[in-house]
Amino acid sequence: MRVLFFSSQTYDQDSFSNTPASHGLELHFQAARLSEGTAPLASGHEVVCAFINDDLSAPVLKRLAAGGTRLIALRSAGYNHVDLTAAKQLGLAVVRVPAYSPHAVAEHAVALILALNRRLHRAYNRTREGNFSLHGLTGFDLHGKTVGVVGTGQIGTAFARIMAGFGCQLLAYDPHPNPELLALGARYLELPALLRQAQIISLHCPLTEQTRHLINSQSLAQLQPGAMLINTGRGALIDTPALIEALKDGQLGYLGLDVYEEEAQLFFEDRSDLPLQDDVLARLLTFPNVIVTAHQAFLTHEALAAIAATTLDNITRWAAGNPQNLVEG
C-alpha cells in the first residue's frame, strides 16, 4: 500500500523508516505542504499522511479522493484542520494519534515558563557577548505562585503535575473536571475567575468553535497585571493582535507561544533570509518578555517514535478492516 507523507521533515523520515511496522507499506515523503496545488502529488496513493499545517479543507479532500486516496492518517493529535463533514461525504476515513507523549508538550510549556521567568534568552545572548551584568534579569520564585491550567486532558494534567512539584497552587478550567487534578489539590473555576487569580496561565484545550479566541482583549483585561501567558495548544485560541496592546501597557508581563494563529505559512521552514511579512508576529518578536518557538513542543525522540508507531499501526489496522483512532465529525 502506497502512503504519501506531506510536510515531511528529515526527522519524520527517520522515525517512520526506523519503525518495524513500516514493513509492507510503501512510504513516500514529500516536503511540500498539502494544498489544492500539491494534492495531485498524492494521485495513486491510497493513504495520505498529513501534519497540522496541511490543508485538509473540502476542495483539497475532493482532489485527494479523486486521485484514489481512501485514508487520511494524521500524524498529530489535533484534527481541527480537517473538514470532517467533507471527508465523510467523500468516503475518506480519518485517523489520528490521540496521545503520543503528553510529557513532551507539558515539559515544553514549563521550559517556556522557566526561560521567560529567569530571562534565559537574554542571559544566553549577554554572556556570549561578554556582558555579565545581571541588570533586568530578576525573576520570581515559582514556589507558592498560582497557575491556571485551561484544559485538563492529558497534556494539561501532565503540566499540572509538574507545576504541583514546584509548589504552585493549581486552578483549572475545563467543562469536564478531571479527578486527577482534584487529587493534586486543583480548584476548578470558571475562566474569568481563573484569569483573575492566576499569575501564570497555560492553554491546553483543543481548538474548537467554543475555544477560538478564548483569549482576547476582554479576557486579557481580566488578568492580574504582569501575568504570564503560555500557549502550546493552538494559535487561534488567542486573538493574537490583542496581545500586542496587553504587552505594551504591561497588563501581560510574559508571553510564551509555541503556536501562532498564522503559523501555517511560516513554521517548520528556514525563512531567515527572507523579510518577515507578518507584521503581528514581527511586532511580537520585538518584546523582550516574549518567546516564540515554532510549534516544537511535540519534538522529542519519544514523541516522534510514538507518533510513527501509532500512525503505522493505524494504517495497517484500517487496511485490515479493523480501524482504530478514527476521527468522526
Active site residue 234: yes
**Which residues are CB-contacts of 290 (< 8 A; sequence separation ≥ 6)?**
247, 254, 255, 256, 257, 284
75 to 104: interface string for ligand NAD, x by CB under 6 A = --xx--------------------x--x--
Where helices occur in the chain by DSSP H, the ranges are: 10-17, 58-66, 84-89, 102-117, 120-128, 154-165, 179-183, 191-197, 217-221, 240-248, 279-284, 301-319
Quickly list DSSP for 247-277. HHTTSEEEEEES--TTGGGTTTS--TTS---
Angstrom distance (rounded) from CA 221 to CA 242? 10
Q: Give residue 303's Cα distance to chain centre.
A: 13
Q: Give the CA angle between residues 273, 109, 278 to the nearest 5°.
A: 30
Angstrom distance (rounded) from CA 177 to CA 186? 10
Residues 215-234 that bind ligand NAD (CB under 6 A): 232-234
The nearest distance, CB 302 to ligand NAD, in angstroms, is: 13
Nearest-CA neighbor of 303 among 58, 78, 99, 28? 99
**Applying CB under 6 A, does 148 fall inside the site for ligand NAD?**
no
**Applying CB under 6 A, does 107 fall inside the site for ligand NAD?**
no
Q: Which of 22, 69, 117, 211 binds ligand NAD (CB under 6 A)?
A: 211
Active site residue 263: yes
**Applying CB under 6 A, does 304 fall inside the site for ligand NAD?**
no
Give the 3-state DSSP-derived string for 289-320, with helices as H, strands as E and coil as C.
CEEECCCCCCCCHHHHHHHHHHHHHHHHHHHC
Of the residues 263, 269, 283, 328, only one is catalytic, namely: 263
Applying CB under 6 A, the span of 15-23, 117-125, 248-256, 292-300 interacting with ligand NAD comes to: 292-300
Judged by CB under 6 A, how many residues of this single chain contact ligand NAD?
Answer: 30
157 to 196: interface string for ligand NAD, x by CB under 6 A = ----------------xxxx--------------------
Of the residues 45, 108, 119, 234, only one is catalytic, namely: 234
12 to 41: interface string for ligand NAD, x by CB under 6 A = ------------------------------
- Write out the residues near ligand NAD by the rule CB under 6 A: 77-78, 99, 102, 105, 150-156, 173-176, 204-207, 210-211, 232-234, 258-259, 295, 297-298
* Residues belonging to the active site: 234, 263, 295
